[in-house]
Amino acid sequence: MCSAGTGWQGAGMTTETFEVARPDGTVLAGVRRRREGAPVVVFLHAGVADLRSWEAVLDELDGDELDLVAYDRRGYGGTPGTDAAFSHLDDLVAVLDAVGADRAVVVGNSMGGGLALDVALTAPARVASLLLIGSAVSGMTDEGEDIAWEADAATGAIVGALEKAEQAHDVDEAARLEAHLWLDGPTAPEGRVGGAARELALDMNRRILSAGTQGNAGGTDLDAWHRLGEITAPALVTWGDLDLPPDLPFYALTADRLPNATGRVLEGVAHMPSLERPGLVADLVREAVALA
């Protein structure tokens, strides 16, 4: 079931809010900028964000002939968490059904990218093309690979401090460290990205940390990492050069293993470019739409 209302105003188009009720009673909260008959683009947020991480990108795309959809996964933003077993993949398919998208361009950042790959693998007819930004991959491992995930000094120091802050239930300190790790990039100075983008990153993380959202909840047992060669959707695979250094080789390997992918390094950004350079991400969305 999908119900709609009216939400915040974009640069030229009113953004509708919508809800998708799931069988267990959970209601997924989303926003949409609808243009009837236009290609549908679905945005999947990172595990350290919610749908608001896409707002500035939607503003940049407001004049394009696109039907833009973003929603909060369970435990993020306006969608409550649940103790019941669930699948983010099933929820995504339910959102596609609710907005009437037989096929969509799917944009995913970080964990959202992993979800985008999961749906491209399990329901290929629903995916017109992919835009992946610093994407996770279900089942990703360095076992049996020529590359190994080894934290550099900067990443290790922040991750260690973050673990202590989480153990102490210090939400503000944990949110500060998350912003340094993912928004600034661990090798960049803390505060590299400031202003409204930083305030939003901090607020999103405080909410996630306060809600006790478990990042591994709702995952699948898919081994997409070893099945990337089965994904035929055209894909634009991107990552920031200021992202976590140990992750960079895995992004490149993802691009190499997807049969119809182009890999691209984004200079001067870290893990969440939609916050610091929404115009850049909007241009990438347009490229992904052209691939469909």
pTM listed for this prediction: 0.95
Q: Does residue 257 have a pLDDT over 70?
A: yes
Phi, psi (deg, nearest 5) at residue 190: -60, 135
In a domain, 6, yes or no: no
Q: Please tell me whether residues 180 and 238 are part of one structural domain.
A: no
Q: Count CB atoms within 10 A of the CB of residue 11.
A: 11
Residues 37-63, mean pLDDT to the nearest whole number:
97
Which CATH number covers residue 106?
3.40.50.1820
Q: Please tell me whether residues 62 and 175 are part of one structural domain.
A: no
pLDDT the model gives residue 1: 46
Q: What percent of the chain has pLDDT over 70?
A: 96
Q: Please tell me whether residues 167 and 73 are part of one structural domain.
A: no
| ∠ CA 247-275-33, rounded to 5° | 120
Residues 58-71, mean pLDDT to the nearest whole number:
96
Q: Count CB atoms within 10 A of the CB of residue 213.
A: 18
Q: How many CA atoms lie within 13 A of 250 on its CB side?
A: 24
Closest CA to 60 of 285, 289, 288, 292: 285
Residue 48 CA to its chain's centroid (Å) = 9
Q: What percent of the chain has pLDDT over 90?
A: 89
For the chain, the domain total comes to 2
In a domain, 84, yes or no: yes
**Please, which pLDDT band fits residue 228 given cuts at 50, 70 and 90?**
very high
Residue 180 lies in domain:
153-211
